[in-house]
Amino acid sequence: MYIWFRITTQSKTQTLSLTRMFDFLYQPWPWYVAGPLVGLTVPLLLMLGGKMFGISENLRHVCAACNIGNVSFFQYDWKKNGAWNLTFVLGVILGGFLGGFLFANPNPIALAESTVQDLMALGITDFTGFVPNDLFTWSALTTPIGWIVLVLGGFLVGFGARYAGGCTSGHAISGLSDLQLASLIAVIGFFAGGLLMTYVIYPIIF
């Protein structure tokens, strides 16, 4: 009786821990799990190759690879400077496949109720995915708001990142980790623009 009890409880805990592991892969990760992982990218890249974590440089590398019109800003050896970073992007894409497709969380994101209310007031109806399906579809390109969000938004991200010399990874994470004043100014700029968009421009364009 005792042995039977031991075996059943043991196998139960084993299946339990296995399900737990799978649950962990499918469930969203809290900030205290994701934050350290993102932060560890900084020392890892520094120690592996003396490189500073920064994604938006890759947009410049792609422009350098095509360099139509021989713009001086894109005249450099992109393979020598950017091969590691472009490889990093391939890793990001693979990570997106694993986390967002293979082990995708089946439930909608647990958003703050006040944000949901605000967005519903702006006309967002679908909260099931990573992005609002009302705006992030190919058919959205037939509407002005689709162009504003996808095309103008993307353009500003690309232009602004290079003008500011870095994006969220380069300035907010790498730059602030290295206590660089320039990065602090840039991050204040990121929030100035973001808040202006959220509180002033959103009510106008939606």
Partner 1 sequence: MKSEVISWFRIQEMFRFDSFHMYGIIGVAIAVGLISIQLIKKFNVKDLSGNPITIPPKDPKQVTRYIVGGSMFGLGWALMGACPGPMFALIGSGLTIIIVPILAALAGTYTYGLLRDKLPH
Restricted to residues 118-147, the positions that interact with partner 1 (CB under 8 A) are 118-119, 127, 130-132, 135-138, 140-141
Cα radius of gyration rounded to whole Å, the chain: 22
Q: How far apart are CA 159 and CA 169, in angstroms?
A: 16
Q: How far apart are CA 112 and CA 106, in angstroms?
A: 18
Comparing CB distances to partner 1, the nearer of 83 and 176 is 176
- The binder of partner 1 chosen from 7, 18, 195, 203 (CB under 8 A): 195
| Residue 206 touching partner 1 (CB under 8 A) | no
Q: Which two tokens stand for residue 153?
A: 């938004």
Comparing CB distances to partner 1, the nearer of 14 and 143 is 143
Question: Is-contact 83 51, C-beta < 8 A?
Answer: no
How many C-alpha atoms does 187 have within 13 Å on its Cβ side?
16
Q: How far apart are CA 202 and CA 83, in angstroms?
A: 38
**Shortest distance, position 9 Cβ to partner 1, whole Å:** 31
Comparing CB distances to partner 1, the nearer of 83 and 94 is 94
| Residue 96 touching partner 1 (CB under 8 A) | yes
- The binder of partner 1 chosen from 1, 3, 112, 204 (CB under 8 A): 112
| 9-48 footprint of partner 1 as x/- string (CB under 8 A) | ------------------xxxxxxxxxx-xxx-xx--xxx
DSSP, collapsed to helix, strand or coil, labels residue 112 as: coil
